[in-house]
Amino acid sequence: MAKILVIEDETEMAQGLKDNFEFDGHTVLIAGDGEQGLQMAQNTDIHLILLDIMLPKKSGLDVCKELRAMGIKTPVIMLTARGQEIDKVLGLEFGADDYITKPFSVRELLARVKAVLRRYPPVDGTAEKKIRIGKLTVNFQRYQAEDDKGEVELTHKEFDMLKYFYEHKGRVVSREQLLDDVWDYNASPTTRTIDNHILKLRKKIEINPEHPRHLLTVHGIGYKYIE
């Protein structure tokens, strides 16, 4: 089960979320404002963050942006009372993994949480596993990558894509599959978005990105990763 941090200033809602998640078997911590939430997210081993956008002291958008700037990759689901599309788009651009608009049903939220945790399952910190992908050595549990020169910086989405390719190695993956399974939200990414990320990944994993050996294009369909 996961350890979930709820950053929410509405006391009744925070407690209701805590009760439901604990009933589902999770451990839940609560922060009542953005500054406290940011501190707890840095100092505690959290598996998932539920983050309200409208918070005292520091907005949820700022919290999410600062976490990602610090290199903290903990998955984030944004909670928003607004119906404005700009909030959802900004949240995703700042590194959130999903969003849900208030009011929402507990069943829907639990389903969203389960979906995110399937993509980023909680792991035992003692069970470290490093995987060789091209010229990189990758630890997906810690979101760390390095080559023979040292640490290589990958974005949250680049880690997601790399993990997806590794889990589907030897199989052709279409652009549409990547949009559905890696992005997993109703925004407006395009197949061009996928192509741009592939170019960036090749520069990081291939010895010669112009002539890739691992992340191959299957013309008219998509891509395939081979070891």
State whether 153 and 94 are in the same domain.
no
In a domain, 126, yes or no: no
State whether 12 and 106 are in the same domain.
yes
pLDDT beyond 50 at 126:
no
Last residue of a domain, one of 119, 152, 186: 119
Last residue of a domain, one of 119, 153, 175: 119
What band does 120 get if pLDDT is binned at 50, 70 and 90? Answer: confident
17-25 contacts at long range (C-beta below 8 A, 24 or more positions apart): 17/50, 17/109, 20/106, 20/109, 20/110, 21/110, 21/113, 24/110, 25/1
* pLDDT (average), residues 169-185: 81
- Choose among 30, 43, 31, 41: nearest CA to 64: 41
In a domain, 21, yes or no: yes
How many structural domains does the chain have?
Answer: 2
* pLDDT (average), residues 189-202: 84
The C-alpha atoms of residue 204 and residue 109 are separated, in whole angstroms, by 36
State whether 7 and 115 are in the same domain.
yes
In a domain, 28, yes or no: yes
State whether 112 and 149 are in the same domain.
no
Predicted confidence at residue 198, as pLDDT, reads 92
| pTM of full prediction above 0.75 | no
In a domain, 125, yes or no: no
The percent of residues above 90 in pLDDT, for the chain, comes to 26
Range of the domain at 97: 3-119
Last residue of a domain, one of 119, 148, 174: 119
State whether 144 and 218 are in the same domain.
yes
